[in-house]
A = this chain, B = another copy of it.
Amino acid sequence: MLKGFSVPLTPQGLSPLVSLPPWHYSSDCLVVEYWADSEAVTALLPPGVSSDAKSNGRSFVWFLDWQFTGSNDEHTDPARYQYREAFVLVEAVFDGKPINYCPYIFVDNDAAIARGWAQGFPKKLGSVFQTRSFSAPSAAAAPLAKGSRFGGSLAAHGERLVTARIQLEEKAENPAAIFNRPTVMRRYFPQLSAGLQEKPAVDELTMSLTDDLAVVDVWAGSAELRIPEVQGEDLHSLAPKRVGRGYRLGMSYSVTDLRILKNYVR
């Protein structure tokens, strides 16, 4: 009997990149609100998702330092159960309702790629860093306090794709500004057989579902953001035309399900 949620399936079940849910997560997050070119946003949306006229290109870059676990304290094996992630969310509309759509996402861990593809997150490998907040006081500690400065960066294949900096100003009593839309993705798995290479085996619009979502210690402040043009990546089409607020927060949730909004194949 072969076990595993993802390949490689094995009798013992240790080697599969992903085990069956639930998957539990906790992270520190650095977020920058900004406005991209609204036509560039629209050009990235899948069928049935339309641009949000009121958003005018409003987007978010997130940097996340994740720790995850199954049900057996897997996070005590930190070489496997930590990863860093950066993604872009663009505001859009599906079925008349405001959503965030995820066109780009990068992680530094293969289990995160496997889980992400199963959900619809179009993950690639990247090198991601964010300034951390440490408890021992120091000029290097970046405490959660007015005036503290944090940076984030994303690179892939030795090209710097995103550089961000924020400076904390105040605790955000109402984080709804950044958490008021569900996240929608495109779940996609191609076929390689000749004649079928443009007819994916799986092509669905999905919505991320989270159990026990907690958002804690939200701070807001000023922000800077750069998304330079590099060879071999299209991310700069979403470069900032204007930069809004920066946020720093903690977030946790569990994943046990996925909603399929639309099946493009049938």
Residue of A25, A67, A139 most packed against chain B (CB within 10 A):
A139
CB pair A129 B252 closer than 8 Å: no
A94 within 8 A of B: no
- Contacts A135-B250, A140-B25 known; A190 to B110 CB distance under 8 Å? no
Task: Pick the residue among B82, B119, B215 that contacts A132 (CB under 8 A).
Answer: B82
Interface residues of A in 157-212 (CB under 8 A from B): 157-160, 163, 165, 186, 188-194, 197-198, 201-202, 212
CB pair B160 A78 closer than 8 Å: no
CB pair B192 A12 closer than 8 Å: no
* B residues near A245, Cβ cutoff 8 Å: none
Interface residues of A in 1-22 (CB under 8 A from B): 2, 5-15, 17-18, 20-21
* B residues near A79, Cβ cutoff 8 Å: 127, 129, 153, 155, 157-158
CB pair B258 A78 closer than 8 Å: no
A247 within 8 A of B: no
Copies of this protein in the complex: 4
* B residues near A14, Cβ cutoff 8 Å: 232-234
* B residues near A254, Cβ cutoff 8 Å: 138-139
Residue of A15, A157, A215, A231 most packed against chain B (CB within 10 A):
A157
CB pair A149 B73 closer than 8 Å: yes
* B residues near A142, Cβ cutoff 8 Å: 67, 75
Query: Which residue of chain B is the closest to A110 with respect to CB atoms?
Result: B125
Query: Which residue of chain B is the closest to A203 with respect to CB atoms?
Result: B9
CB pair A103 B10 closer than 8 Å: yes
CB pair A215 B157 closer than 8 Å: no
A51 within 8 A of B: no
CB pair A21 B153 closer than 8 Å: no
A214 within 8 A of B: yes
Chain A 116-154: CB-based contact to B (< 8 A → 1; otherwise 0): 011100111101011110111111111000000111111
- Once the chains are docked, how many angstroms separate the CA of A128 from the CA of B84? 15
CB pair A24 B140 closer than 8 Å: yes
- Once the chains are docked, how many angstroms separate the CA of A139 from the CA of B6? 22
* B residues near A24, Cβ cutoff 8 Å: 138-140
- Once the chains are docked, how many angstroms separate the CA of A44 from the CA of B15? 12
* B residues near A17, Cβ cutoff 8 Å: 124
* B residues near A231, Cβ cutoff 8 Å: 77, 163
For the complex of A and B, 5 pairs with smallest distance between CB atoms: A155-B158, A7-B122, A8-B122, A136-B252, A76-B151
